[in-house]
Structure 1
Amino acid sequence: MTDAMACPVNHSFDPLGDAYVADPYPILSGVREEAAAFYAPAIDMWVITRFDDIQSALMDPGTFSAAVGQRPVFPLAEEARAILKAGFHAYPVMSDCDPPRHTRIRRHNQKAFSARRIATLEPKVWAKATELVDAIEPGVVDLVSALTYPLPAYMIFTFIGFPDEDMDMLKSWCGNRIAFSWGRPTLDEQRDIASNMVNYWQYCEEFVAKRLAEPVDDFTSDLIRIHRADPESLSIPDITNVAYGLSFAGHETTTSFTGNAVRRLLVNRGQWDDLCADRSLIPKAVEEILRYDSSIPAWRRITTRAVTVGGVEIPANAKILLLLGAANRDAKHFEAPETFDVHREDSRKHLSFGQGIHYCIGAPLARMEARIALDLLAQRAPGMRLVEDQDFDFPANVSFRGPRKLLVDWPQ
């Protein structure tokens, strides 16, 4: 016998609906208060809403498998599958695989993604951010295209080792990639994205082959050296897969993260003024942005067995949506959780980078890039203001959130 409730259903919850895409947080807070877990027919997923339960799920990969993390939410059209089958050979690595494979791949990535290599990037981040800000002219500016997109894209491509002259081409192949795995793309969109994924994959294969022939001082070459020392532990296809996956994940989320940061700070003008007056607040502000308006407000898992969450029975092989954005505003863990406060002392407890074995390996780089961008903006443009009455456009998908444009009045 069990006291668990069987199959509570929320027919209204739809993270691809217009109201949720425009502002998910009232909906996230509402469902968190209503139930610890429920089934959402609109996305055919079970949804978990509260901090403690989500943290427990993240710490239990044996029950909550990562295998669905990057699979398309909805079945792909046959045409798109045929395009991928002809030339796209990626397979699960780190974010969407489980031990023991995950353990092996992550161990090698952590060696290459070392504190030393991250530290060597900081002056490069400063230099690139300064170059981008120097190019901004007074007037109305889209800060996404001017700064928050090109900075993390350039840095992750540089980190991997991709040549500067290839970056515009690579960025063009990333277009609308979020919709493919996390949204509901049209048939035409599926065909276009699938073709770009094939082009990107083949580029990564050729790039890794070049590094195998002639390693240099970059992340990919570090992985090549690990492969040469122990080919069985890290294969060339593994390295290609890592380069492909990291080059997307390493800039899209940081672009959204930094865009969310600037928007929230300028909306809360007094806190932006505080930060400009005392830039030592920036690390706290970075954590509060991650808590209050994460660029990844939800992530996916799949159950390996039946499990009870918050008194609710969830079956085996159930697709799961973990509402990180709801957890980060759980009043059980954060005082006045709906208030944005860059002075908050405990904001770093957020779950935005995950926890456990899948904790985001790029978290230090993302924090560094956001910190530097905010520091530079506070120095150069303390009088910057959001353009009034602009409509913020967010991509419709279940996992990622950030404005596609962010119009500001850049001062003289």
Structure 2
Amino acid sequence: MEDAMACPVNHEFDPLGEAYVADPYPILSAVREEGPAFYAPAIDMWVITRFDDIQSALMDPKTFSAAVGQRPVFPLTGEARSIIKEGFHAYPVMSDCDPPRHTRIRRHNQKGFSARRISVLEPKVWAKATELVDSIEPGVVDLVSALTYPLPAYMIFTFIGFPDEDMDMLKSWCGNRIAFSWGKPTPAEQREIANNMVNYWKYCEEFVAKRAADPVDDFTSDLIRIHQDDPESLSISDITNVAYGLSFAGHETTTSFTGNAVRRLLANRRQWDDLCADRSVIPQAVEEVLRYDSSIPAWRRITTSKVTVGGVEIPADAKILLLLGAANRDPGHFEDPETFDIHRDDARKHLAFGQGIHYCIGAALARMEARIALDLLAQRAPGMRMVEDQDFDFPANVSFRGPRKLLVHWPG
């Protein structure tokens, strides 16, 4: 990285550092003000900080390739690599592949995420959320384990078509998956996660084979029918890969998103009270949470050629970290950006779901789940309060953020 040393270098920036994990936003604001881009030795990445530059990168997949989106940030142990090589045969999914493969796979997936299928899911989301809320007893409750984790997990597994009786097993296999690709797991953690990934992959292979033999009315069966009509456009391996990737991405991020929403609203009591008094503001509140405290405050790219960002020259084959959280609080795009305001008119202009060809395909489903969760909480527990002085625990990684626990006083 000789070129990098001649350009801006920030030796302090470390998204796995204690201060950043606890609260990245002061750091994000500081580095955005310092400059548009710099090299961070702690993670061996070039970091881009400002809205316009990040938006341009997202809209230029030819220069900013998605190929590294889900690769481990740090090298894996030999043991973990061996486990993966022997039993895990996934290949790049939509979020970490480029055209033309990305174009082909996304076109088919968009049919599965049609407005019809999302509308069919909405009453199921209401029913599951109601069931979960009805089971909450008065007192101190961890809202993550009671609602914001089980709801998205259940819904994405239902959407894909996984049977209810397998839910707990599948959720256990997802444990600590974020650390594998986006954090710095210990050798023992790598071994455990790798074995879980192999088990999950084998499950997906068997599940897709079962759907191929007997399609029903679910997302996987939609893909099976596309395969049956044109086997060369979408293979069985493609469908297995999609089921595996989507089942993880479709619930971890929404769990964090909804947890962030409840936390921010309860910490700003007047805004929670406003929402409870007028639930029509919930969609706007959802957008402000996405802007102010996204569940994905950063994402990765890799350059295919030398590029200049804000006057800073970045070499080819440079690993990139796009600071979406810094962009979403860029004062050049949002007035008073450090203030959480559910009545903000332009909150929806955030980059939380990305932009361009990789815009999050599950955005409508995530918004719907968060909206329903907040609506139900506002109806059932308007007097709910967050437990004061609790220590929030966030997973240490470069891309995902949401509280692992969220303790609230649930009214009787």
Which category of TM-score, normalised to the shorter sequence, fits these structures? over 0.9
**Letter of the aligned partner of 1:247 in structure 2?**
S
Corresponding residue number in structure 1 for 2:65: 65
Corresponding residue number in structure 1 for 2:224: 224
Pairwise mapping of residues 13-412 of structure 1 onto structure 2 (< 5 A)? 13-412=13-412
**Letter of the aligned partner of 2:16 in structure 1?**
L
Corresponding residue number in structure 2 for 1:9: 9
Task: Report Cα offsets for 1:176-231 as digits up to 9, x if no partner.
Answer: 00000000000000000000000000000000000000000000000000000000
**SS of equivalent residue, structure 1 residue 316:** coil
- Are the aligned partners of 1:306 and 1:316 in contact in 2 as well (CA < 8 Å)? yes
Cα shift at 1:93? 1.6
Distance in structure 1 (CA, Å) of the matches to 2:10 and 2:243: 39
Task: Report Cα offsets for 1:150-172 as digits up to 9, x if no partner.
Answer: 00000000000000000000000
Distance in structure 2 (CA, Å) of the matches to 1:344 and 1:93: 35
**Letter of the aligned partner of 1:166 in structure 2?**
D
**SS of equivalent residue, structure 2 residue 300:** strand
Distance in structure 2 (CA, Å) of the matches to 1:27 and 1:368: 31
Cα shift at 1:5? 11
Name the Cα RMSD after superposition: 0.9
Distance in structure 2 (CA, Å) of the matches to 1:135 and 1:227: 41
Distance in structure 1 (CA, Å) of the matches to 2:137 and 2:205: 39
Aligned length: 409
**Letter of the aligned partner of 1:401 in structure 2?**
R
Q: TM-score w.r.t. structure 2 length?
A: 0.99
- Are the aligned partners of 1:152 and 1:369 in contact in 2 as well (CA < 8 Å)? yes
**Letter of the aligned partner of 1:223 in structure 2?**
L
Task: Report Cα offsets for 1:17-67 as digits up to 9, x if no partner.
Answer: 000000000000000000100000000000000000000000000000000
Distance in structure 2 (CA, Å) of the matches to 1:93 and 1:228: 21
User: Which stretches in structure 2 are left out of the alignment for 5+ residues?
Assistant: none
**SS of equivalent residue, structure 2 residue 294:** coil
Task: Report Cα offsets for 1:339-361 as digits up to 9, x if no partner.
Answer: 00000000000000000000000
Give percent identity, aligned residues only: 89
Change beyond 3 A, Cα 1:393–1:5: closer
- Are the aligned partners of 1:6 and 1:312 in contact in 2 as well (CA < 8 Å)? no
- Are the aligned partners of 1:6 and 1:313 in contact in 2 as well (CA < 8 Å)? no
**Letter of the aligned partner of 1:9 in structure 2?**
V
**Letter of the aligned partner of 1:146 in structure 2?**
A
**SS of equivalent residue, structure 1 residue 32:** helix
**SS of equivalent residue, structure 1 residue 209:** helix
- Are the aligned partners of 1:5 and 1:313 in contact in 2 as well (CA < 8 Å)? no
**SS of equivalent residue, structure 2 residue 228:** helix
Distance in structure 2 (CA, Å) of the matches to 1:216 and 1:256: 31
**Letter of the aligned partner of 2:117 in structure 1?**
R
Cα shift at 1:7? 1.8
Distance in structure 1 (CA, Å) of the matches to 2:210 and 2:277: 48
**SS of equivalent residue, structure 1 residue 185:** coil
**SS of equivalent residue, structure 1 residue 403:** coil
Cα shift at 1:15? 0.2
Distance in structure 2 (CA, Å) of the matches to 1:76 and 1:101: 27
**SS of equivalent residue, structure 1 residue 401:** coil
**Letter of the aligned partner of 1:45 in structure 2?**
M
**Letter of the aligned partner of 1:330 in structure 2?**
D
User: Which stretches in structure 1 are left out of the alignment for 5+ residues?
Assistant: none
**SS of equivalent residue, structure 2 residue 333:** coil
Runs of 4+ aligned structure 1 residues displaced above 6 Å come to none
